[in-house]
Amino acid sequence: MSINMHEVSFIRTPIGILEINTTTDSIVRIKFVSKPSKDSMNNSKEFSGITQQALSQINEYFNGDRRVFTIPFKLNLTPFYKRVLNEVHKVEYGSKASYGEIARLLGNAKAVRAVGTANSKNPLPIIIPCHRIISSNGGLGGYSGGLDKKSYLLGLEGKYLAQ
């Protein structure tokens, strides 16, 4: 049995510091860090290829140079939550979908709240773009990182689409 190494790195973004958790072959978690600790920056540590890839792709996204993430990821969630987030992952850059639309795509139009709950459990915000999922009335809905971050990400994508 092989042991999967875990690496933790941090990256400064326009929406704050993100903690990036990777294994030897995939990204597994992105967490919003509210108060940076003195260890919160990478101090020029050498990281594995997958961690370097994650940091690079996130920087490219915020610079407007990346619309699709190609980094492999793993979701350690229930099968339903995985299905929801795999559907959310298909929502294209600069586009939006409602919680209801995702529920219908999964074959259960009544699962709107469950779709919202699955989005709130998304361990990979930005990579799996749950910020692109909004209420059917056009409102932002919720976002685990805060609505200010969701609004920023939607605006960022709109800005780079317009160019």
Q: Which residues are catalytic, by number? A: 130
| H-helix or E-strand spanning residue 16 | strand 16-22
CA 148 to chain centre: 15
Q: Which residues contact 160 (CB under 8 A, 6 or more apart)?
A: 64, 67, 94
Dmax (CA) of the chain: 49
Q: Which of 144, 160, 161, 159 is nearest to 16 (CA)?
A: 144
| Pairing of β 27-33 and β 97-98 | unpaired
CB-count burial class (<10 Å; 0-12, 13-18, 19+) for 119? buried
CA distance 151 to 129: 12
